[in-house]
Amino acid sequence: MKSKSSIPASKSGKYWLVKSEPEVFSIDCLAASPAKTTCWEGVRNYQARNFMRDEMQIGDFVLFYHSNASPPAIVGLAKVVRAFYPDPTAFNKKSPYFDPKSRKEQPTWGMVDIQLVEKFSQPLGLDFLKKVPELSKMTLLQKGSRLSVQPVRPDEFDTVIRLSRQLAKPVAVF
């Protein structure tokens, strides 16, 4: 019998990774959010914005990464549930994400909504990921890579999901 693949496939064929500092917004915050959904506010980098605006589509899968964490790790999977729309925090003077140059008539910044699909039972730590040959080209693992919203190649996405499944299995004891 053919077994059904447990690797999720996105309709668009596109996959992403977003970074968040767990001190600011962790995967547990996402899990505790209404409908396990949050708006991805505060992106203030043009390249990251352009990915969200020009390429992200509803249904795309998004790896959730904890940066500035110990250890830094991919901690779960989410998906896009709302396409790009203006980020109101850019107009809020009290927000840390306030941008005085952004005009309401023509907003500079935007965001998408993402919904939690699953929190990995074992985080995939940065040091672990670096040892995986199939991931050697992954944007996240390149030196000096700081993009907070970045594309992930389909084969890399498959590898990450497969590793998360492997790590979730009980360790054999002899």
Partner DNA sequence: GCCAACGTTGGC
Binding site for DNA (CB under 7 A): 19, 21, 44-47, 67-69, 72, 101, 126-127, 143-148
Q: Is 166 left (phi over 0), alpha (psi -120 to 50) or beta?
A: alpha
DSSP 74-122: EEEEEEEEEEEEE-GGGG-TTSTT--TT--SSS-S-EEEEEEEEEEEEE
The CB-of-140 to DNA minimum distance in angstroms stands at: 7
Residue among 46 and 168 whose Cβ is closer to DNA: 46
Residue among 8 and 151 whose Cβ is closer to DNA: 151
Residue among 24 and 168 whose Cβ is closer to DNA: 24
The CB-of-84 to DNA minimum distance in angstroms stands at: 17
The CB-of-144 to DNA minimum distance in angstroms stands at: 2
CA distance 87 to 106: 11
Residue among 103 and 146 whose Cβ is closer to DNA: 146
The CB-of-10 to DNA minimum distance in angstroms stands at: 23
CA 61 to chain centre: 8
